[in-house]
Amino acid sequence: MNFCRFCTTAGVRSSIKRLAAAPYKLCYLDSDKCNKSYCNSESRSFCNLGLLSRLKTNDSKYPLTADTFNSLNPKKQEKFPLFFQQIRQHTNLGAISADEKANIFQRPKAQSTIDEEEVSKFSGLSALWWDEGGEFEALHSLNELRIPLIRDALVSKKNLDQYDPASPLQGFWILDVGSGGGILSEPLARLGASVIGLEASEETIKIAQAHLIHDVQIRDSVKYIKSTVEDIALTQEGKFDAVVASEVLEHVSDAQTFVTAACKLVRPGGSIFFTTLNKTQLAYALGIVAAENILHLVTPGTHDWEKFVPPTVLQHMLDKNNFATRLIHGMWYNPLSKRWSWTKDTSINYALHAVKPSTGEEGDVWKERKP
């Protein structure tokens, strides 16, 4: 059995529940020790248990803050003195700020909080991102294609008894690369997935958070992190059920490094999704000249044709990472109806789905695991 020790200590469970709501939720990125069968049955925030399990192995690389435990119910502290004593021993790093910790331990810094002042400051900008008829209209309506694509590909890995129509992606961990304002992250979270949004710009993260905060149901299942795929791949190898890089690849300077890093993050049996622009004359004419300069669907200068990646090249890059490409579909945007539709022709926009082969012991059946 691979229970973390605190899961097995019955009396402590309730205090752990309290802890679970603690501000270092992001620590789940580091936990994989706890046996899922117990943690699964409770709220997702139990993933902190995995973190606690590291105390046992004396792994000081992943610290806890002393303040958190001190703020707990004193009666509980009396009741389980050993537990708290042990925790205090390992929480002497509490004085170090989040930024410093991120530097010391080279962990992606969690942008987990946003204060009230920032909410009002960024609300205006987030309204721009989220105006379905505004600047990002095409991205909003692209959800009608990419969400079903991701949903159906992932759900097909579940057993019938694991499937819940109200939250089909329950239990899946998805990394949304280039999450921007959260246009893709939020719908995925609404389908039940736990989503980590990677975004390079801190301001954009704040914008995304200013919107997310109003959605009580999903605000705890989406986390935006300021980092890059290459950085996060150093610590989070093989942790995600799916990595999604939607409308990102065409902005990346070194596609090969990007794809390799993204592939590394996918766990065996997991999926990787791309949507991007093909490198064709037609893509230049429609994707850049028409979309940017004539129709003004996108801000001029958004795209650089030189960076576009043809599907065959992308497939080759995935092959080198031992990924099997399952599907390449063309996508067509109708500027009059402002809706996307699937098409056979991949010469402008296309979507690609590839899977990492599952290792022998994994089997083909999907099991929930926390990264």
Binding residues for Mg(2+): 247, 250-251
Residue 223's SS3 state is strand
Among 32, 42, 59, 215, binds another protein (CB under 8 A): 215
| 148 is an interface residue for another protein by CB under 8 A | yes
Residue 275's SS3 state is strand
Among 93, 213, 297, 313, binds another protein (CB under 8 A): 213
Among 5, 109, 219, 251, binds another protein (CB under 8 A): 219
User: In whole angstroms, how far apart are CA 221 and each of 112, 240, 367?
Assistant: 11, 14, 19
d(CA 190, CA 170): 9
| 161 is an interface residue for another protein by CB under 8 A | no
Among 100, 132, 202, 304, binds another protein (CB under 8 A): 132
Window 296-325: residues binding another protein (CB under 8 A): none
Q: Which of 247, 188, 250 is nearest to 223 (CA)?
A: 188
- Closest approach of Cβ 334 to another protein, in Å? 14
Residue closer to another protein by CB (options 26, 314) is: 26
- For tokens 């999704």, the residue is 273
Residue 186, both tokens: 């939020």
Residue 244, both tokens: 């999604």
Length of the chain: 371
Neighbours of 282 (CB within 10 A): 11
| 124 is an interface residue for another protein by CB under 8 A | yes
Residue 197's SS3 state is strand
d(CA 79, CA 9): 13
Window 163-192: residues binding another protein (CB under 8 A): 165-168, 186-191
Among 131, 135, 203, 304, binds another protein (CB under 8 A): 131
Among 32, 59, 118, 231, binds another protein (CB under 8 A): 118
Q: Name every residue whose Cβ is closer than 8 Å to that of residue 352 and which is 6 or more positions away in sequence.
A: 273, 274, 275, 276, 311, 314, 315, 318, 325, 327, 328, 329
User: In whole angstroms, how far apart are CA 222 and each of 120, 185, 187, 275?
Assistant: 20, 7, 10, 21
CA 329 vs. chain centroid, Å, equals 23
Among 161, 216, 336, 360, binds another protein (CB under 8 A): 216
| 123 is an interface residue for another protein by CB under 8 A | yes
- Closest approach of Cβ 323 to another protein, in Å? 25
Residue closer to another protein by CB (options 88, 307) is: 88
Quick one: DSSP state of residue 287?
I
d(CA 248, CA 244): 9
Q: Which of 323, 185, 27 is nearest to 172 (CA)?
A: 185
Q: Which of 319, 109, 355, 111 is nearest to 232 (CA)?
A: 109
| 280 is an interface residue for another protein by CB under 8 A | no
Residues that contact another protein, how many (by CB under 8 A): 42
x-marked contacts with another protein along 4-43 as a string, rule CB under 8 A: --------------x--xxx--------------------
Among 143, 228, 315, 343, binds another protein (CB under 8 A): 143
User: In whole angstroms, how far apart are CA 18 and each of 23, 76, 217, 273, 364?
Assistant: 11, 11, 19, 36, 36
Which segments are annotated as binding site?
Answer: 146, 178, 246-247, 250-251
- Closest approach of Cβ 308 to another protein, in Å? 27
x-marked contacts with another protein along 57-76 as a string, rule CB under 8 A: --------------x-----
Residue closer to another protein by CB (options 99, 115) is: 115
- Closest approach of Cβ 220 to another protein, in Å? 8
Largest CA distance in the chain: 72
List interacting residues with another protein (CB under 8 A): 18, 21-23, 71, 113-116, 118-119, 123-124, 127, 130-133, 140-141, 143-144, 147-148, 151, 165-168, 186-191, 211, 213-217, 219
